[in-house]
Structure 1
Amino acid sequence: MRLLLNAAGIALASIAICASAVLISRSPGGAPSAPATCPQRWGGAGIGGWVPQATGIDGAEASLVPGEPVAATICAYPGENFRPGGERLAGTRTLTGQATAMARDLAYLPVTTENRDGPCTAVGGPMTNYLIRFAYPGGEAIWVGTAEEVNACVTTTNGTTTSEAYMGPSITAAYRTGTWKVVRPDDPCDGPAQRRGQNEWMVPGRPVSVLVCGEAASSGARRPRAQHGRQAATSLAAALNSPDTRPSDHTCQGGESTHSRVFHYLFGYADGPPAGVVVWIGCVPGLDNGLLQADVDDSILNQAMRLTPRG
């Protein structure tokens, strides 16, 4: 039996919002604060994953948005996810004072220059492709293509590197309101969570805390959880980083046994987003962070049992 794991091992159902209103940021004099540079149609054939021009800016291979841009223009192309491609431009929204913060949050996403395909759920519904043009003080610019859609199965790219991390609701909120803020679930155990470096390490960097989420006793019930500090986070991260890893295909075999158990780990950091990892005891491979997967060894099993939340 092959079981599907999503990018953080945590199912996330999100409803795509069709941003159809024409929203133009204007200066006090009434003129547009930035020239209209958005293509009139979405030029790709899919959901996200397309930009009108790849960038030559230094750092674009390691980060979706390197440096500190001074403005971000969001171009919206609403449509349906069962026939993506060729959507008409519905409107634009320009963010100025918050462009650097937006770029910083996108720069924290894990990226890869490799072509990677994985399984997706196939719920039909509304979808909005987005292009975001980040402008820099020297006149340079970088395009980022992404989308919001009901399956959260989106590729985000700057034309040089790509990310599978899903930011659709945050982009839609910024387009509608003109304010940038990362949209996170009310309950962190509902995930997902991905952080830069998870294409190389199961748990990158130096976490300062870890939230361990167990399985809910019934549908709709609150997941049991336990919060641990730096020492436990460091020890657990070392154990999760010890097995040999391979690119994740977001599946595992087994897991149907009554003895199988699933734990979700969200590692917190002094700065930036958390890193999410799922450990599925009784499923092979049982360790997955959305980009990498590995087998669960005794060290991981012992840590999982010791940090198990009590329901």
Structure 2
Amino acid sequence: MAVTVSASSPDRSPPVPSTCPQRWDSDEIGGWVPAAVRVDGAAESLVPGAPVAALICAYPGDNTRPGGERLAGSRTLTGPAAAMARDLAYLPVAGPEVGRACTLMGGPMTNYLVRFAYPDGRALWVGSAEEVNRCVRTTNGTAVSHAYLGPAITTAYKKGVWRPVPPEDPCQGPGGRRGQDEAVVPGRPGRVTVCRDAVYRRPPYRKRHGRDVARPLAAALNSLDTRPSRNGCHGIPGSDERDVRLVFDYPQGPPAAVRISLSCVPAIDNGLLQADLTPQIREEVLRLAPR
């Protein structure tokens, strides 16, 4: 994708500073950039195009007193920048109507700014954070994602490598993928892992199925009427069935997860969209789940 200034606006974007700001100029944890640029694709993807370098700026502080953190240091990535940009481009973009619930534990946090530089001299900032509650907005000034990147950015800043660590248990991974704001299961998954709730520890508590199961199940979920997720639901009186989590894998990029809350309404939630559970999908999910 070519990175160009949008022709739809008569105003040029403000210049993107080439060095780290000396302070984090926001009271928010993550979710801030010093300049938002008008770059094609920036509304749909955190990092469009193919940047060649990434400058990481770190602002440590405490989440009980956020705002105005001083710059503690910086690191420039060249080789790993492409992989970092690719992974951020895969993250789902959330609209302002999407809700979420966060825990309120106090503790240390670090805000990060990442300046992605492109071959033609243009650049854009991405603002995020590592924080104990894992409830952080990541933004390029236009697009916003609720996917949590904190540990991976910290590793890149400290060690100079971009190496997100996959979870040992696929059922416990984050499950955010670009396109989940438009479809319950975006794209064409290659397989699906059906997971029982985390408290279900009698082996097996997960079961993997191939493409012949994953794609029809995704199509059924995508046929439902959806609304923006509030990341919450209303319990069904007298029902205590364990939740099921569907983790759809792809040949490239991160998985997309869907939670089926069998004792709750609305039951289906991918983090950005919610839908009601039909009897047919309920029956199929329970048939595929480990027993």
So what's the TM-score if we normalise by structure 1? 0.84
Amino acid at match of 1:185: P
What 5-or-longer segments of structure 1 have no aligned partner? 1-34
- 2:212 matched to 1:247? no
Bigger drift between 116-125 and 53-62 goes to 116-125
Q: Residue 261 of structure 1: CA displacement?
A: 2.2
| Corresponding position of 1:29 | none
Correspondence list, 1:132-281, <5 A: 132-216=114-198, 224-254=205-235, 257=238, 259-281=240-262
DSSP-derived class of the 1:261 partner: coil
| Alpha-carbon separation, structure 2, partners of 1:131 and 1:222 | 43
DSSP-derived class of the 2:151 partner: helix
**Aligned counterpart in structure 2 of residue 58 of structure 1, from 10, 25, 40:** 40
Q: Deviation per CA, 1:72-100, whole angstroms, max 9, x where unpaired? A: 01100011112211101111011001111
The two structures, once aligned, show a CA RMSD in angstroms of 1.8
| Alpha-carbon separation, structure 2, partners of 1:136 and 1:245 | 37
DSSP-derived class of the 1:119 partner: coil
Q: Residue 144 of structure 1: CA displacement?
A: 0.2
Q: Residue 299 of structure 1: CA displacement?
A: 2.0
Q: Deviation per CA, 1:185-214, whole angstroms, max 9, x where unpaired? A: 221111221100000111000001001111
**Aligned counterpart in structure 1 of residue 25 of structure 2, from 37, 43, 59:** 43
| Corresponding position of 2:6 | none
The change in CA–CA distance for 1:223 and 1:248 in structure 2 (over 3 A counts) is: farther
Amino acid at match of 2:248: F
| Alpha-carbon separation, structure 2, partners of 1:298 and 1:249 | 23
Amino acid at match of 1:262: D
Q: Residue 67 of structure 1: CA displacement?
A: 0.7
Q: Deviation per CA, 1:200-246, whole angstroms, max 9, x where unpaired? A: 1110000010011113556x777700000001001111121122111
Amino acid at match of 2:182: E
Percent sequence identity is: 60
Number of aligned pairs? 275
- 2:281 matched to 1:300? yes
| Alpha-carbon separation, structure 1, partners of 2:119 and 2:33 | 21
| Alpha-carbon separation, structure 2, partners of 1:223 and 1:158 | 41
DSSP-derived class of the 1:251 partner: coil
The 8 Å contact of residues 260 and 283 in structure 1, kept in 2 or not, is answered as no
What 5-or-longer segments of structure 2 have no aligned partner? 1-16
The 8 Å contact of residues 213 and 223 in structure 1, kept in 2 or not, is answered as no
So what's the TM-score if we normalise by structure 2? 0.90
| Corresponding position of 1:96 | 78
The change in CA–CA distance for 1:280 and 1:134 in structure 2 (over 3 A counts) is: same
Higher relative contact order (CA 8 A, sep 6+): 1
Amino acid at match of 1:100: A
Q: Deviation per CA, 1:18-49, whole angstroms, max 9, x where unpaired? A: xxxxxxxxxxxxxxxxx970001001111111
